[in-house]
Copies of this chain bind each other. A is one copy, B any other.
Amino acid sequence: MSIKELAQHLNVSIGTVSRALNGRADVNPETRKRVLAAAEAMGYVANQSGRSLRQGTTNVIGFTIETNVETKSQGDTFFMSVFDGVQAVFARHKLDLVVLPCSSEDDPFDHVRRVVSRQFADGLIISATQRIDPRIDFLIERGIPFVTLGRSQSGGEHSWIDMDFDSVATGAVARLVARGHRRIALANTASGINLSYIFEDSYRRALAEHGIAYDPDIVIRGEITERGGYAICDKLLALPDRPTAVVLVNESLAIGIYRRLHDAGLMPGRDMAIIGLRQSPQARFLSPTLTCHRLSLHDVGVELAQSLLATMPAYKDLYPQGVVQKIWPMELVPGESDPPLQP
């Protein structure tokens, strides 16, 4: 079912059919109606390869994720919610979202290079940014429109959306200090993801502001999974001078930490104050409830999509915001896991 068949069925030239379908001006309204009707009836839809060969554009946006659940995971419904927001925007422009998973055996840089050379997409959304991320320099050099979900120190000016981990870390420390805590641990991720640096820097700055000395012994890095949380809590409990509170870089850790405390006959909150990151469905159902932070991932997705379009020449007029670098606010949701310290 090619445009040629459709054309000779209608007794017009293929040029006219193409113009009619693409909404060009110089075509008789009457014939346009005929063409549209016939296309609908015969189920014609333009071949994507032919079209993109001619126009050099695919109408596809790629979203890279990493399938390494152990170290990079963001929680169980994180990406699904973001995708939903992204699609809400793209649907209005007849753009299709495709997710390009980078397998755990593959290198993220190689992955992006392959994606680019295969010309899958007109634009890319990159997640899990590293502190030094060669993908960013590469994409800038190649002139591929892209946005990252997460900041980086790499490369030149580019659009990114990130969450306000700075405020979360400093706010959590301040809140714990106000509640009498002085020995505040940090549970961080061991991966090179930029978030881990931002989070730890802010944590250290907040400690300094409250006149608390930084103690590397209570900054533990590990897998940001339930199992990782268990292991991290294990190490904290083994310390001679046990911390009274811990700030988490990821809410999945909370599950494991709760479990480890229970196994030691201790009670989360009372025996160790805990502040988690994002209000995930699981964290919401912990007992005692986890103090964490509200965040609309759907809206993050919307913002990602709009920022990407703003960098694409074809959509510049519709989204004139230019380069956007936005830190998304996270609002603290008080729970029962960080009560005032009992002397």
Chain A residues with a Cβ under 8 A of chain B: 43, 45, 47-50, 52-53, 58, 65, 67-69, 73-81, 83-84, 87-88, 91, 96-101, 103-106, 114, 117-120, 225-227, 229-230, 252, 255-256, 258-259, 262-263, 281-282, 284-287
Contact = CB atoms under 8 A, between A and B. Distances in A.
A118 B45 contact: yes
Contact of A69 (B73, B80, B104): B80
B49 A119 contact: yes
Given A73-B76, A282-B226, A48 B103 contact: no
Contacts of A98: 98-100, 120
Contact of A76 (B48, B80, B256): B80
B75 A87 contact: no
Given A76-B76, A83-B101, A282-B76, A117 B252 contact: no
Nearest to A59: B118
**Chain copies in complex:** 2
B226 A284 contact: yes
A50 B119 CA distance: 11
Nearest to A229: B285
Contacts of A230: 285
A65 B99 CA distance: 10
Contacts of A101: 80, 83-84, 87, 97, 99
Given A76-B77, A101-B97, A48 B120 contact: yes
A285 B226 contact: yes
A80 B73 contact: yes
Contacts of A83: 67, 101, 103
Contact of A282 (B88, B114, B263, B282): B282
Question: Which among A49, A79, A114 has the greatest number of chain B C-beta atoms within 10 A?
Answer: A49
Contacts of A252: 76, 281-282
Given A67-B80, A80-B67, A117-B45, A255 B226 contact: no
Chain A to chain B: the 8 pairs with minimum beta-carbon distance, closest first: A75-B76, A99-B99, A87-B103, A49-B53, A45-B117, A67-B80, A49-B52, A259-B285
Contacts of A106: 87, 91
Question: Which among A52, A229, A281 has the greatest number of chain B C-beta atoms within 10 A?
Answer: A281
A92 to B, nearest CB: 12
Contacts of A287: 258-259, 262-263
A103 B100 CA distance: 16
A77 B282 CA distance: 13
Contact of A105 (B88, B258, B281): B88
Contacts of A97: 100-101
